[in-house]
Amino acid sequence: MVNLTIDGLAIRAPKGTTIMEAAAQNNIAIPKLCFLKEINEIAACRVCVVELEGKERLITACNNVVEEGMVIYTNSPKVRRDRRNTVQLILSQHDCKCATCFRNGNCALQNIASDLNIHELPFEERLERQPWDQNFPLIRDSAKCIKCMRCVQICDKVQSLNIWDLEGTGSRSTINVTGHRTIGEADCSLCGQCITHCPVGALHERDDTEQVWQAIADPKKVVVAQVAPAVRAAWGEQLGLSRDEATVGKIMDSLKRMGVDYVFDTTFSADLTIMEEGTEFLGRFTRGETKEKPMFTSCCPGWIRFIKSQYPHLVPQLSTAKSPQQMFGAVMKSYFAQAIGRSPEDIYTLSIMPCVAKKGERNMELFDGEYAGHDVDAVLTTRELVRMMRSAHIRPDTLVDRPCDALMQAGSGAGVIFGATGGVMEAALRTACYVVMGENPPADAFKQVRSQGQGTGVTTAEFHLGDAVVRTAVVSGLGNTRKLLEQIEKGEVSYDFVEVMACPGGCVGGGGQPIHDGEELAFERGKNLYALDSSAALRFSHENPDVQRLYAEYLGEPMSHRAHQLLHTDHNA
Ligand code: HC1
Ligand code: SF4
């Protein structure tokens, strides 16, 4: 242990602790902008400076460790002067139009400028404006970038894609897409992790709320919405609702109050995905052809973009099943449209997703005999949903639990856990076991595939299905995925079935979820989904009565010709 004083308080801290951590452990807050634990500890912003007695130069608290006998001041006149100066300089190179910023009210720079009581900027304003494709699902506003390096580091260290880089030096330095490419040319997976780790409004999703308002106002359109599993675990965070208060039924109520005609839960089509993907897996597994192993899940579009750009030769090993989002869109424009007596062109399909990559996935085309447009017309992130609620002046405390509409109302707990890493695998194994054994296993028989904590990366397990052993791996985060794929390619490990989610922790940690300035909430949100599963009336996808009816009345069997046409895709195309 090391003894030191911070702001007159004698404290003891374990050797190796940073000054920032030691202060935090003693309830002394040191402001910061660029710091991200274990990802960005480079003191780029210099906002966390502190005064060390006996030293002329101030030192940064995030990357200097405690030493015996240190006497530190976190808020001396010298520190305050320096910190103000630093923040004023950052603000002079920042487009400070907070009222029109996506991060207004949730911005580390806005907070610190306010805390430091900054009301004028003594420096000349110098803004940098780089061109950007405003149609791309991920938008960067260079005039708001503070060069903290968080996006560079999260993309490099956690997602292993190196999309961002620092160009130039000194006051001319700037962040840009690596290799002088446009974002469209780069291998961006659209995971959106750079957005959720940006402390300011320099990165955000393309805002599609206006076109949704227009569709709602269009009397010729029937707006049909679906809400993804992971959205329910996070939407209330931005509105001050507790996890118990923020139910999925209240999202359905808000959508209806905004004017959406029909509301559904993506857990229905997650169950449908299990019927298709589970059947496909059992087919491949029993055929036993090595070139088909392992089969990879295909519901995460961040992962699909990654495998296509980084490991194109592995694409044939993806399940051909479309994601639940796309399956639901296809079913809404065919089966459901027919049931309500409307043509597919009248149906406007809207998805609420925790994900930015889903905005890219929606470009997938729908062929129902002939070309029939897109499965999904618009995708909104959880953050955009909350923005729509706000712009509709909906008071969260007035929302009530509203069930989904008829015909595709039911969803199982197996569908709910899709939103957490391991959930797709667990749901698939529950049903695969039923198909092979002819009876349900205990619902929690496969819980070994659940992640045991934040960032554990890969979870592997083996299960008996009848006489056969199925070897499974579950991975989240693209850096972890790259490592796993390298091991598989080298023959160091071998699996039958692999679930991949691009975002650490799965969709609960998705790039479209509420932002908490670097705080990682995926694991907590995941626990919420597992709790919803364990209390659900239905725990098995194959028991979903509305999915059963869809097969009986419309699709026939899983993997039938009709199911293929609507619910599967060729990832090589
Ligand atoms: Fe996901 Fe999925 S779980 S991909 O993470 O398979 O986005 O929530 O909707 O499609 O169900 C996301 C979440 C989501 C799909 C499902
Ligand atoms: Fe989107 Fe989920 Fe994949 Fe993240 S893990 S990219 S949120 S589908």
pLDDT value for 89? 96
For 364-403, the pLDDT digits (tens) are 998 888 888 999 999 999 999 999 999 999 999 999 999 9
Dihedral (CA of 418, 421, 426, 432) sign: positive
| Domain edge (last residue) among 76, 91, 115 | 115
411 lines ligand 2 (CB under 6 A): no
For 448-476, the pLDDT digits (tens) are 999 876 555 899 999 999 899 999 999 99
Q: Evaluate if residue 59 carries a pLDDT over 90.
A: yes
Domain membership of residue 44 as a residue range: 2-99+108-115
In a domain, 158, yes or no: no
In a domain, 542, yes or no: yes
258: domain CATH number?
Answer: 3.40.950.10
Q: Which atom of ligand 1 is nearest to the CA of 354?
A: 7
Q: Which atom of ligand 2 is nearest to the CA of 189?
A: 6
Query: What DSSP assignment string belongs to 1-27?
Result: -EEEEETTEEEEE-TT-BHHHHHHHTT
Residues near 435 by beta carbon (within 8 Å), at least 6 away in sequence: 278, 279, 282, 542
pLDDT value for 454? 55
| Domain edge (last residue) among 51, 86, 115 | 115
One-letter-per-residue 3-state SS of 242-295: CCCCCCHHHHHHHHHHHCCCEEEECHHHHHHHHHHHHHHHHHHHHHCCHHHCCE
In a domain, 193, yes or no: no
What ipTM was assigned to the predicted interfaces of this complex?
A: 0.90
**Secondary structure class of 338 (helix, strand, coil):** helix
Can you tell me the distance from the alpha carbon of 142 to that of 139, in angstroms, rounded to the nearest whole number?
Answer: 10
In a domain, 443, yes or no: yes
In a domain, 216, yes or no: no
Q: Whose alpha carbon is nearest atom 14 of ligand 1?
A: 228
Residues near 384 by beta carbon (within 8 Å), at least 6 away in sequence: 205, 207, 208, 209, 512
In a domain, 194, yes or no: no
Structure tokens at 75: 């808020």
353 lines ligand 1 (CB under 6 A): yes
Q: Report, as residue numbers or ranges, the catalytic residues.
A: 277, 280, 299, 319, 358, 361, 365, 507
Can you tell me the distance from the alpha carbon of 316 to that of 15, in angstroms, rounded to the nearest whole number?
Answer: 51
Q: Which atom of ligand 1 is nearest to the CA of 328?
A: 10
Between strands 2-6 and 9-13, the pairing is antiparallel
Can you tell me the distance from the alpha carbon of 233 to that of 230, in angstroms, rounded to the nearest whole number?
Answer: 5
Residue with more model confidence, 407 or 172: 407
In a domain, 133, yes or no: no
In a domain, 142, yes or no: no
Q: How confident is the model at residue 168 (pLDDT cuts 50, 70, 90)?
A: confident
Can you tell me the distance from the alpha carbon of 204 to that of 235, in angstroms, rounded to the nearest whole number?
Answer: 17
17: domain CATH number?
Answer: 3.10.20.740
Give mean pLDDT, residues 4-8: 98
Q: Evaluate if residue 565 carries a pLDDT over 80.
A: yes
Tokens 């790039």, residue located:
511
Centroid of ligand 2 to alpha carbon of 356 (angstroms):
8
424 and 571 within one domain: yes
How many structural domains is the chain composed of?
2
How is the chain split among helix, strand and coil, in percent rounded to 5?
40, 15, 40
Give mean pLDDT, residues 251-271: 98
Residues near 428 by beta carbon (within 8 Å), at least 6 away in sequence: 274, 277, 278, 281, 497
78-84 own/partner pairs: CB under 8 Å, 24+ apart: 78/51, 79/49, 79/50, 79/51, 80/116, 82/46, 82/49, 82/58, 83/31, 83/47, 83/49, 83/116, 84/116, 84/118
| Domain edge (last residue) among 82, 115, 148 | 115
Tokens 């929690």, residue located:
444
